[in-house]
Amino acid sequence: MNMSTHISSQASSSPGVEAADVVRTERAGLDALAEALENPVGLGGAFAEAVEIILALPGRVVVTGIGKSGHIARKVQATLASTGTPAIFVHPAEASHGDLGMVQKGDAVLAFSNSGETTELGDIAAHARRSGLPLLAVTSRAHSTLASAATVALTLPSLPESCPMGLAPTTSTLTQLAFGDALAVALLRQRGFTATDFGTYHPGGRLGARLRTVRELMRTDNAMPLATPNTPMRDVIVEMTHKALGCVAILGQNGTLAGLITDGDLRRALDHDLTTTLAKDVMNDSPLTIGPGIFASEALRLMNERKRPITSLFVLDDDRKPIGVVHVHDLIRAGVG
C-alpha cells in the first residue's frame, strides 16, 4: 500500500462533513456565550458593569491582546470606534517599549487573552492598575492571573476548540469576536447612536454614499425647474427643457408645492392646444415628495419601487416649500446605486 492509499483509508468522512462539524462546534460556543450573557450573576452581570464603566469614561477604551486574541482585539477596537465609543489598539509588546504613553488618565484597558496567562499583557495590565485605570479582562479562565488582576473579569465559556487537536484557536476566537460585537452594540444602544451618526463615521465607499442624505445631493435655487399654476404650457416646456430634469414643480400661494408636471404628463397633454393650456390643467396635484433628511438610499428605493419608476423627486421643507430636487443620476454618480 502506498502512502496516498494509506492516508485515504484513514479519512473517516468527507471534507464537507468535517467542515459542518466545525461550524456546529463553533455554533455551540456562540449558544453557550449567549446563555452566559443572560446570567445576571455571572457573565451577564460583569458585562453590564463593563458597559457602565465604559459609558462613564472621559477617555478611550484601550484594546489589547496578542496572537489570535490580538487580531480579535484589533477588530473589536475598530468596531467600537466606528459605533461611537472612542477606542485605540495598543500592542502589548510595543506597550512594554514606550507605547504605555498612549494609555492616559481617563482611559480603560480592555484586554483579550483566552488563557488569561499571556505574559506579554503583564506590563500594560500592571500600568492600568498602577494608574488607577479600569482593567476589563476578557478570558475563559476565571481564576487566571489576568482575571484576578482585573477590575471586571469577563469570563467567557470555556469550550473545546473546533480543530481536531483541540489546539488551534477557533471556537475561542469566535466567541471573543461575538463578545466584542455584543459590547459594541450594547454601548451603541446606550448612547442612542443613530444611522446618521454611523454615516458620519463612514463617509467613504458605497456604505458612506448610501448613508448620505438627500440634502447633500439635491440641486437647489436656480437649478430647480419651477412654474406657477397659470404658466402657459409652452413656457413650462421651455423650463423643463432648460433644467433637463424631466419635470417642473408648480408653486402655489406662498411658494408651497401645488403640483408637478413630468415629461410623461407633457406627452399626455400634446393633444391640447399648448398656446392656451395652463400648467394647472396638466399638473399632478399629489406628487411623491421627500424631506431633506431622507437617506439617499431611501430616495433611490422610492424612485424604483413605483410601477413606473420616476427619475426626480422634489425635496420639501416643513412648510411644503420646495428647497431642492434630486435626480436619479445624482444618486448614481454619488455611488448609491
Binding residues for Zn(2+), as ranges, are 91
In the annotated binding site, the residues are: 91
Sheet of 135-139, strand order: 87-89, 61-64, 108-112, 135-139, 152-155
Cα angle, residue 45 at apex, residues 68 and 117 outer, rounded to 5°? 30
Helix H segments across 152-260? 171-191, 195-201, 205-210, 214-217, 233-243
What is d(CA 159, CA 33) in angstroms, rounded to the nearest whole number? Answer: 10
CA distances 69 to 37, 123, 161, 173, Å, are 20, 17, 14, 7
Work out whether the CA dihedral 266, 269, 275, 279 comes out positive or negative: negative
Residue listed under C-alpha cell 452594540: 185
Contact status, residue 109 vs residue 122, Cβ threshold 8 Å: no
What is d(CA 289, CA 317) in angstroms, rounded to the nearest whole number? Answer: 10
- Tell me the one-letter amino acid at 207: L
Burial (Cβ within 10 Å: 0-12, 13-18, ≥19) of residue 58 = exposed
